[in-house]
Amino acid sequence: MERTDYGCIIKNPSRFVFVAPHGKMGNDDYTDKITELISQKYNANAVINSNYSRNQVDKNDISQSGDTQFQKDLVALVDDIVAGYGKANVIMIHGSADKWTHSRHDKKRLFNNYPNEKGEWLKNGEKRPYDIDIGCGLTEDHRYFVDSKNPSDVELEGFLKLSSSDLWKRNQNSDTMTDCRRMPRREVYNLKRAFEEKGYRTTIGKEWAAQNKNKLVQKWSSNPDVGSMQLEIIEQHRKNTEKISNDIVAALKAVYDNINEVK
């Protein structure tokens, strides 16, 4: 582990990099420790910001942090991994409160499990409808709901939509990505099921679809050699850092049989 101005960087012989952009206490609490534990248990790389709050500089916002050492270190690490393994997987670890408040996004709309395209507004104090929300630019369309260990490509195309479409746009933000080829639908779906088998209510792009082009998860959206996504975890599960890190590692191993094998 190498200590840095922003926190630390951990290097291991792996094509996986775990990132905590908001690891300082008072932001996404416990994500710095969770990210460190995952890197230890998974023998993976990690870049952890534990010293800067998002009010000082948002390390998850490319437009704010593009010239910071945090992002320079992350980009250099990913470049080295691609050079050595041919492919890199970058996974951001984020956190949400257990219950919904309108303090940050007054107009954000969440979609619960429903049979049509109508959205429902979540009320203040209402429990979030997920334990883990996977963000990679895709979102679930439950008009095409699938519940299978091995859905067809057609089923997955219907179930997982690009969140930049007018119907599924999140955060009322026009700066959205339109290309999600970097994270194959089946890969994301299999990870969702792996988390569900561990007992977590898991969604894809339910609230945090990670489609904004300025977000760190989209840094490599045009690079076919880098797959990136984020895991948004509610606080109830983040508090038990040992358990959630163990379960994340187990879910990843269920999807990626050999973490250093390029499939």
Pairing state between β 7-10 and 16-20: unpaired
Based on its alpha-carbon atoms, the radius of gyration of the chain, rounded to whole angstroms, reads 17
Give me the sign of the Cα torsion angle 247, 253, 256, 261: positive
Structure tokens at 14: 């792996």
pLDDT tens for the chain, 263 residues long, are 999 999 999 999 999 999 999 999 999 999 999 999 999 999 999 999 999 998 898 999 888 766 689 999 999 999 999 999 999 999 999 999 888 765 544 444 444 443 334 455 666 677 888 899 998 878 887 677 676 778 888 888 878 777 554 443 433 333 334 344 445 788 889 999 999 999 999 988 877 777 677 888 888 877 889 988 999 999 999 999 999 999 999 999 999 865 444 43
Is 188 in a helix, a strand, or coil?
helix
pTM of the model: 0.86
DSSP helix/strand/coil, 170: coil
Domain 2-255: CATH architecture, name and number where available: 3-Layer(aba) Sandwich (3.40)
Report domain extents, the chain: 2-255
Two tokens, residue 180 = 């999600």
Dist. CA 243–CA 237, nearest whole Å: 8
